[in-house]
């Protein structure tokens, strides 16, 4: 199934530490959002009416596998949410909320996780080595008929707590981690929804140091060499090879991430509850994290060992959001990044200048001398802020920053997935597009770094297969 496929899938972090406040709050830092028609064997053979969609959000970036002793968990004081707009108005109509609860069940144990015995289960005697267990609840929130103004909240999984999958400690403590992770997939029988929450392998498939050294991309020839291109130009054969990184440094290879993945039947996501059609088949997706308005901490003279040291009070306030990759990182200016995180996607009109006057494209031209399209970039506005078929008038909205997925497009089998999606080609440069990839939703395998660079640069960058030389988990 798609949720289990995350064990080995390429996962590229596209937005970690993207805003000043987020650098201080990794538990609420959304690194990636994915939305795709599930491509596991079962879903590949289902008719359209019975297919399912997988929604994913990743948080807690840059987890070094050996960084013990307490490793990594979700935050009990963060509200994690995946949102779906199903009527093309840019406002979320369905939300899946997760709240986590940690319990110290063996307070006398000197480390949080020990092989006493080895941890091979999430609950019960074979989980005795987990002194701290984290569990969570899932709630579906919908706009209710008939006026869709009222919100209806439905606890899923019989309102029971589900076990989060702990960090992979090592071969002695978690000797069969793949099997342990598989136990963390839960099914809600009445709805057909499945969910997973826990640690997964992350590969930030990007040359991070080069990108943020003012787009100082590495190239195959050394600096100053005769014929050295101003940008990392790849041959058609190199670019078409989805099994090898031709050059570049994969900065985050070997690191981990915390993943929330929800698989939902399509008919539960369409506005009318029927199989997707041309009118109802495209959804818009984003993820958010929120904290309560006030955080209270106990200190000296008020400390009580039986009471929590931290608790939240008041309404929830959004602290991070993400839909399309690299938007806050590369499009929104530094002085507005925290403000952008706190705003709603349907209010994106206030940021239109950043999309139309695409500064990152100008930087590409400045450092390389290779021309990019002139501003205003209405092509970028249409790609990221509008639905297909929406009024093309640049003065007419709504403008909403959402990851849009046409659920009618069949999933591509894993063996045939092309990391470049619509820009995919063979070794001779002949087009071999994969319509199931970004920007039609996003799959873990999609090389959004190369795709975004080419969209920003347009013809010169597309024709010369410009990229960072890092496209896969290798």
Return d(Cα 40, Cα 29) in angstroms, integer: 28
* pLDDT for the residue numbered 438: 96
**Residue 355, both tokens:** 């999309």
* Structure token digits, residue 59: 């948080």
Q: Within 13 A of 143's CA, how many CA atoms are on the CB side?
A: 17
Q: Measured between alpha carbons, how far is 434 from 12 in angstroms, rounded to an integer?
A: 19
Count, residues in the chain = 474
- Say whether 4 sits in a helix, a strand or coil: helix
Who's near 284: CB < 8 A, 6+ residues apart? 84, 85, 88, 90, 323, 345, 387, 400, 402, 403, 404, 405
- Region label for 198, one of left (φ > 0), alpha (ψ between -120 and 50) or beta (otherwise): left
Q: In what order do the strands lie in the sheet with 193-202?
A: 30-37, 52-63, 255-265, 193-202, 186-188
Cβ distance 327 to 401 under 8 Å? Answer: yes
pTM: 0.94
Q: What is the chain's pLDDT, residue by residue, as a tens digit (474 residues)?
A: 455 444 433 344 455 788 999 999 999 999 999 999 999 999 999 999 999 999 999 999 988 888 889 999 999 999 999 999 999 999 999 999 999 999 999 999 999 999 989 999 999 999 999 999 999 999 999 998 777 788 999 999 999 999 999 999 999 999 999 999 999 999 999 999 999 999 998 765 677 777 777 777 777 655 555 555 667 778 899 899 998 887 777 777 788 999 999 999 999 999 999 999 999 999 999 999 999 999 999 888 888 888 889 999 999 999 999 999 989 989 999 999 999 999 999 999 999 999 999 999 998 888 788 899 999 999 999 999 999 999 999 999 999 999 999 999 999 999 999 999 999 999 999 999 999 999 999 999 899 989 998 999 999 899 888 888 777 765
Strands 52-63 and 78-85: unpaired
> Look-up: residue for tokens 């014929």?
227
Query: What is residue 7's predicted lDDT score, i.e. its pLDDT?
Result: 41
pLDDT at 213: 79
State whether residue 24 is helix, strand or coil: helix
């Amino acid at each position: 199934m798609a949720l289990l496929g995350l064990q080995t899938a390429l996962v590229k972090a596209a937005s970690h530490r993207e805003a000043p406040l987020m650098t201080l709050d990794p538990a609420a830092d959304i690194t990636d959002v994915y939305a795709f028609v599930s491509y596991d064997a079962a879903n590949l053979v289902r008719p359209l009416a019975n297919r399912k969609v997988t929604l994913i959000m990743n948080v807690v970036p840059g987890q070094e596998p050996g960084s013990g002793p307490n490793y990594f968990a979700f935050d009990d004081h963060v509200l994690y949410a995946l949102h779906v707009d199903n009527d093309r108005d840019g406002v979320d109509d369905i939300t899946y909320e997760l709240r986590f609860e940690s319990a110290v069940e063996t307070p006398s144990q000197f480390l949080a996780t020990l092989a006493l015995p080895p941890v091979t289960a999430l609950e019960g005697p074979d989980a005795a080595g987990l002194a701290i267990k984290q569990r969570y609840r899932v709630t579906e929130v919908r706009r209710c008929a008939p006026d869709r103004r009222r919100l209806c909240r439905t606890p899923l999984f019989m309102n029971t707590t589900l076990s989060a999958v702990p960090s992979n400690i090592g071969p002695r403590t978690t000797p069969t981690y793949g099997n342990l992770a598989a136990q963390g997939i839960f099914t809600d029988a009445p709805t057909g929804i499945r969910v997973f929450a826990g640690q997964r392998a992350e590969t930030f498939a990007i040359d991070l140091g080069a990108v943020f050294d003012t787009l100082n991309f590495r190239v195959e020839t050394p600096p100053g060499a005769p014929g050295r291109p101003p940008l990392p130009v790849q041959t058609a054969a190199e670019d078409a090879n989805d099994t090898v990184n031709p050059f570049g440094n994969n900065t985050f290879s070997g690191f981990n991430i915390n993943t929330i993945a929800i698989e939902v039947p399509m008919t539960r996501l369409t506005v009318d509850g029927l199989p997707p059609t041309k009118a109802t088949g495209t959804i818009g997706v984003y993820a958010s994290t929120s904290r309560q308005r006030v955080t209270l901490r106990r200190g000296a003279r008020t400390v009580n060992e039986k009471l929590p040291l931290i608790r939240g009070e008041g309404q929830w306030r959004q602290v991070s959001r993400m839909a399309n990759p690299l938007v806050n990182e590369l499009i929104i200016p530094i002085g507005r990044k925290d403000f952008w995180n706190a705003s709603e996607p349907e209010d994106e009109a206030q940021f239109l200048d950043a999309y139309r006057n695409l500064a990152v494209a100008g930087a590409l031209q400045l450092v390389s001398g290779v021309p990019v399209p002139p501003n205003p970039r209405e092509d970028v506005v249409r790609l990221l802020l509008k639905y297909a078929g929406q009024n093309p008038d640049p003065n007419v909205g709504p403008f909403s920053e959402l990851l849009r997925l046409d659920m009618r497009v069949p999933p591509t089998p894993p063996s045939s997935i092309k990391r470049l999606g619509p820009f995919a080609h063979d070794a001779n440069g002949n087009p071999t597009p994969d319509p199931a990839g970004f920007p039609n939703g996003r799959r873990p395998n999609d090389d959004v770094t190369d795709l975004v660079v080419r969209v920003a640069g347009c013809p010169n960058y597309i024709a010369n297969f410009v990229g960072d030389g890092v496209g896969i988990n290798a």
